[in-house]
A and B are shown apart, each in its own frame.
Chain A
Amino acid sequence: MAKHVVATVDEIPPGERKIVELEGRSLGVFNIDGEFYALRNSCPHQGGPLCKGRLTGFLESDAPGEYRYTRKGEVLRCVWHGWEFDIKTGQSWWNPERMRVKSYKVDVEDGATVTSGLEKGPYTAETYRVTIEQQYVVVEIA
């Protein structure tokens, strides 16, 4: 298991994302209302760059003419064919039993923790000037 610093908290405001390369994999790190989530940037359908997709919600209906739009901003639509995935779990919406995209554990840690014993990510102290109080987004690859 390796932890990687991928961004400062400020760098990914709510509703935004950052695409990063970690251990040869492309990942999307998302901020949904202050919580961070990371998904593999490769769609289980045909390998499209999923994490470049639009954020949307679930449009649900129990009967014709009745609609509910829920979980706005928590559903990622693939850029290619529009398959939908729950950002929080990586679960696909249309076929939850069979399809899910790999999701990763994301934590927010403060500077003091980060400097002690984490793997170097794309942001190191040398290339990115930050104060020690700054909070970092840390992705864990299991």
Chain B
Amino acid sequence: MKRTREKVPVIDSDIHNNLPSGDALAPYLSDRWRKHHETIGGRGHSGGSYPRAMPNAARHDSWPPSGLPPGADLPFMQEQLLDAWDIEYGILNPLMGAGGQLNLEYGAALARALNDWQIEEWVKPEPRLRASVVVPYEDGELAAQEIDRRGGDSGFVQVLLIARTAEPLGRRKYWKMYEAAVRNDLPIGIHFGGSGGYPISGAGWPSYYIEDHGGMPQAFQAQVISLVCEGVFEHFPTLKFALIEGGFAWLPPLMWRLDQSWKKLREEVPDLKRLPSEYIREHFWLSSQPVEEPPKREYFDLLLEQLNAREKLMFATDYPHWDFDAPDRALPTNLAPDVRRRIMADNARELYRL
């Protein structure tokens, strides 16, 4: 199908590559962990991933003719995504559950294998792609080791975490990971999903996927609040976070609320020297997909302004998932050209140094 091409460059900040099969990681695992991988396999908390109406949560047309699962066939991804929209760079966020493994050593082995696999089989053959360092994030030390092992490779542009963790991310147990990210000069991406062993809503277990999908900002909000209030940005003043696939309309009211609370409760958190919103504005970037769609266009304009979207919002497709956003249709058509350019490419270009 022919498409009208945008003149503006496009950087896609959220692409999901996938393993072609369960044993595709075998060549990247040590003997010890290959044996574990083959005979025992993974174990994480359950209930974080609701059955979706779409198999693999994928677009129906993203199943490659090769028979591989969506996102697992590089030539098909090149044709259906990178070439079709002339994407300048794409950031890979493989979601294979390495970080959520209860066996932390196995999680670390999976992360190592996934990272080597990303470089060998995706970034080397396709120079438009960049990888994310997958880490066993529930153990700050193991995560830091993996960031130090791979972080110097220019094929990696961020460290990848999943939104629902076992504890809020501001807690000390994660700080070694932040030290390593700062040492390697990498931002940290937090992506939709995961299960830390708790009900996935703030009020318990819901019944439907729509509740999971629509309610995901709860997890992102908890992480933003924790990172700010635990003083992470006073300790790591150069640390940057990208909130990926969490939406973004919820962030401005959260900033207002936190600022208001801080004015009354600041004695409790004396290491916070500035308004919470100032830390947030400085340290957080957001990916566009899913785009909240207010009923009136003027509300959307206000939202972008409140969010400082011109500097902080980064376009994403979420390919090959069913809630994919098309580069030429995701944002309102009458966006100011310079704002469009920044959202479609330049904000990601700066954050990820592309």
- Residues of B contacting A49 in the complex (Cβ-Cβ under 8 angstroms): 1, 61
Q: Are B323 and A47 within 8 A (Cβ)?
A: no
Most buried by A among B54, B325, B328: B54
Which residues of chain B have C-beta atoms less than 8 A from A26's C-beta? 1
Pick out which of these stretches binds chain B: A75-83, A86-94, A101-109, A115-123: A75-83
Q: Is the CB of A81 within 8 A of B322?
A: yes
Which B residues contact A (CB, under 8 angstroms)?
Answer: 1-3, 53-54, 59-61, 322-326, 328-330
User: Does A46 touch B at the CB level, under 8 Å?
Assistant: yes
Is A72 in contact with chain B by the CB < 8 A criterion? no
Residue in chain A with minimal CB distance to B61: A79
**Is A47 in contact with B324, judged by CB distance below 8 angstroms?**
no
Residue of A nearest to B329 (CB): A46
Residues of A within 8 A of B322 (CB): 80-82
A41 near B: Cβ within 8 Å? yes
Give the CA-CA distance A2 to B129 in the complex, in Å: 45
Pick the residue among A24, A41, A47, A52 that contacts B60 (CB under 8 A). Answer: A52
Complex-state Cα separation, A50 to B3, whole angstroms: 14
* Contact A46 to B61, CB < 8 A, known contacts A26-B1, A82-B53: no
Alpha-carbon distance between A48 and B60 when the two chains are bound, in angstroms: 11
A47 partner, pick from B54, B61, B329, beta carbons under 8 A: B329
Decide if A54 touches B330 in the complex (CB within 8 Å): no
| Per-position binary interface string of chain A over residues 20-57, scored 1 when its CB falls under 8 Å from any chain B CB and 0 otherwise | 00001010000000000000011001111100111000
**Interface residues of A, dominant DSSP:** loop
Q: Can you offer 30 A-B residue contacts whose CB atoms are under 8 A?
A: A24-B2, A26-B1, A41-B1, A42-B1, A46-B325, A46-B326, A46-B329, A46-B330, A47-B3, A47-B326, A47-B328, A48-B61, A48-B326, A49-B1, A49-B61, A52-B60, A53-B60, A54-B60, A77-B60, A79-B59, A79-B60, A79-B61, A80-B59, A80-B61, A80-B322, A80-B324, A80-B326, A81-B322, A82-B54, A82-B322
Cβ contacts under 8 Å, A54 to chain B: 60
Q: How distant is A17 from chain B, measured CB to nearest CB, in Å?
A: 14
Q: A26-B1, A41-B1, A82-B322 are in contact. List 16 more A-B contacts (CB 8 A).
A: A45-B329, A46-B325, A46-B330, A47-B326, A47-B328, A47-B329, A48-B326, A49-B1, A49-B61, A52-B61, A54-B60, A79-B61, A80-B322, A80-B324, A81-B324, A82-B53
Give the distance in Å from the alpha carbon of A70 to the alpha carbon of B53 in the complex: 18
Residues in A with CB closer than 8 Å to B60 are 52-54, 77, 79
Taken together as a complex, chains A and B put the C-alpha atoms of A41 and B2 apart, in Å, by 11
Q: Chain A contacts of B326 at CB under 8 A?
A: 46-48, 80
Give CA–CA (A79, B53) in the complex, Å: 12
Tell me which of A54, A77, A81 has the highest count of chain B C-beta atoms within 10 A of its own C-beta: A81
Residues of B contacting A24 with CB < 8 Å?
Answer: 2
Query: Would you give the shortest CB distance from B144 to chain A, in whole angstroms?
Result: 39
Contacts of A81 in B (CB 8 A): 322-324
Which residues of chain A are within 8 angstroms of B1 by Cβ–Cβ distance? 26, 41-42, 49
Q: How far is the CA of A86 from the CA of B134 in the complex (A)?
A: 44
Q: What is the CA–CA distance of A76 and B3 in the complex, to the nearest angstrom?
A: 22
